[in-house]
Amino acid sequence: MNRWMLCGSTLLALACSQHASASDHLDTRTVIEDPRADIGDIYAWMSEDRRRLNLVMTIVGHSFSPDLEYAFHVDSGQAYADTKVTESIRCRMPSASLIECRGAKDFAIGNASREAGIESRGGHFRLFAGVRDDPFFNNVRGSRDAYLEAATAIELGAPKDPAGCWQFSPLASRVILDRWRHTDGGPAKNFLAGWTPATLAISVDLEEVAEGGPILGIWASVSNNGKQVDRMGRPLTGNAMLSPLAQDDVSDRLKEDYNAALPAEADRFTPEIEKTLGLYDAFDGQCGNGLLAEDEPEHRYRRLAKLLADDRLWVDARFARCTQFMAVERLALRNEAIAANDCGGRNPLIDAIDTYRSLLVTGNTAGVDDGVNRDERDHPISQFPFLVAP
């Protein structure tokens, strides 16, 4: 089997496509047909005074659709993964110059495309909707080359251990990680430089979305006539973790199912994610050292798969410092001191993708680096609407 055939039936298919223009880009046929329904990324973090929750959603299409509803959902509780109350802010764009957004207690309507956006009628949230510079940065070509090197190692006979982790040689692992840090063999380049997605930004009073407690689980959705067609919380889950070892039609059906599901239904996707984690665990040449890995091979990836299946972004609203991706989860599940007193979430300046991959591969926040550590633009995350103009 040559590497291009292998691309059609494994996770390496991610690397064979050039369509990865955001961490959740073009994940199913539905959003390929209408990129205005495709959530590229979502971000959630606390304001410096801890009075507001900042939310940003980018849409792969360069405009919003008048036929779709775009929504942020905030689940609140007293502890990680134990939420009691859900508040949603739902937005529709009847025209290019008009947006309507409604929360449980407040609403906004008007032209929100200007820099200052508009304020809701009750003054509880500020809203912007327009085209901005995409803050997401990623060396897509380097990632592609790393996956292709892994494909070569598999093609040459790398065995699997009982948990499904490919056992790459030390040399193969070094080459894979080196390819990840370069673009076409040279310095790493951001594949997304200059990308300008449609952007929805909301800064909402914390009291409006945290009735159940200060621990917030945040996700976004796009719906058409009440049918949810896309959803996202953490980056990469929908694209990279669901049935990548299956043929395209099987994988596509599962992703469509996932995009239509609620976080409460996440457990049914755990077995598929477990199957994927063996490849990520293998990249550094050490099997069994990924995040939350269990000693028993049969259940090595169960805890991590359950965590990833519920892909909500978690924010601890008690803290204004938001610098550690997955800080809430890491503190709750591993008691990591470095994650203490951090709100977690994901702000547009954090290199969340490298942290995410590293946790899956090495169990630490470093170890997998695609060589692109910041965006070309400086995004003012303490100043609304948080992302710079194109």
Report helix, strand or coil for 338: helix
- Mean pLDDT across 234-249: 79
pLDDT for residue 10: 43
Does position 313 have pLDDT exceeding 90, yes or no? yes
End-to-end CA distance of the chain: 44
In angstroms, rounded to a whole number, what is the distance separating the alpha carbons of residues 166 and 163?
Answer: 9
| 18 or 158, greater pLDDT | 158
**CATH 2.60.40 is the classification of domain 23-135+194-240:** yes
Query: Global pTM?
Result: 0.93
CB 242 within 8 A of CB 272: yes
In angstroms, rounded to a whole number, what is the distance separating the alpha carbons of residues 348 and 332?
Answer: 23
- 195 Rama class: left (phi>0) / alpha (psi -120 to 50) / beta: beta
pLDDT for residue 373: 95
pLDDT range class, residue 240, cuts 50, 70, 90: confident
Does position 5 have pLDDT exceeding 50, yes or no? no
Q: Which amino acid is at 40?
A: G
CB 239 within 8 A of CB 27: yes
Peptide bond before residue 197 is cis, with ω within 30 degrees of 0: no
Taking the domains of the chain in order of start, what are their residue ranges? Answer: 23-135+194-240, 140-193+262-362
pLDDT for residue 8: 40
Task: Evaluate the CA torsion angle 273, 274, 275, 277 in order and state its sign.
Answer: positive
Share of residues in the chain with pLDDT > 70 (%): 92
Q: Which amino acid is at 106?
A: D
Does position 36 have pLDDT exceeding 80, yes or no? yes
pLDDT for residue 245: 55
pLDDT for residue 246: 63
pLDDT for residue 4: 33
pLDDT range class, residue 250, cuts 50, 70, 90: confident
- Count CA within 13 A, CB hemisphere, residue 55: 33
CB 43 within 8 A of CB 56: yes
pLDDT for residue 360: 97
Does position 199 have pLDDT exceeding 50, yes or no? yes
Q: What is the pLDDT of residues 333-352, one digit of tens each?
A: 999 999 999 999 999 999 99
Q: Which amino acid is at 309?
A: A
Q: What is the pLDDT of residues 43-93, one digit of tens each?
A: 999 999 999 999 999 999 999 999 999 999 999 999 999 999 999 999 999
Q: What is the pLDDT of residues 284-303, one digit of tens each?
A: 999 999 999 999 999 999 99
**Interacting residues of 216 by C-beta distance below 8 A, sequence separation 6+:** 44, 53, 74, 75, 76, 83, 209, 210, 314, 315, 316, 317
pLDDT range class, residue 156, cuts 50, 70, 90: very high
- Mean pLDDT across 145-158: 94
DSSP string, 24-42: TTT-SHHHHH-GGG-EEEE
Token code pair at residue 237: 């889950």
CB 14 within 8 A of CB 164: no
pLDDT range class, residue 30, cuts 50, 70, 90: confident
**Interacting residues of 156 by C-beta distance below 8 A, sequence separation 6+:** none
DSSP string, 80-125: TTEEEEEEEEEEEEEETTEEEEE-SS-EEEE---STT-EE-TTSSE
Q: What is the number of other CB atoms lying within 10 angstroms of the CB of residue 6?
A: 20
In angstroms, rounded to a whole number, what is the distance separating the alpha carbons of residues 142 and 155?
Answer: 20
pLDDT range class, residue 244, cuts 50, 70, 90: low
pLDDT for residue 22: 63
**Interacting residues of 73 by C-beta distance below 8 A, sequence separation 6+:** 86, 87, 88, 218, 219, 220, 221
Lowest mean pLDDT across 3-12, 151-160, 244-253, 343-352: 3-12
pLDDT range class, residue 248, cuts 50, 70, 90: confident
Does position 247 have pLDDT exceeding 80, yes or no? no
In angstroms, rounded to a whole number, what is the distance separating the alpha carbons of residues 92 and 62?
Answer: 16
In angstroms, rounded to a whole number, what is the distance separating the alpha carbons of residues 222 and 166?
Answer: 36
Strand 118-119 to strand 125-131: parallel, antiparallel, or no bridges (unpaired)? antiparallel
Mean pLDDT of the chain: 91
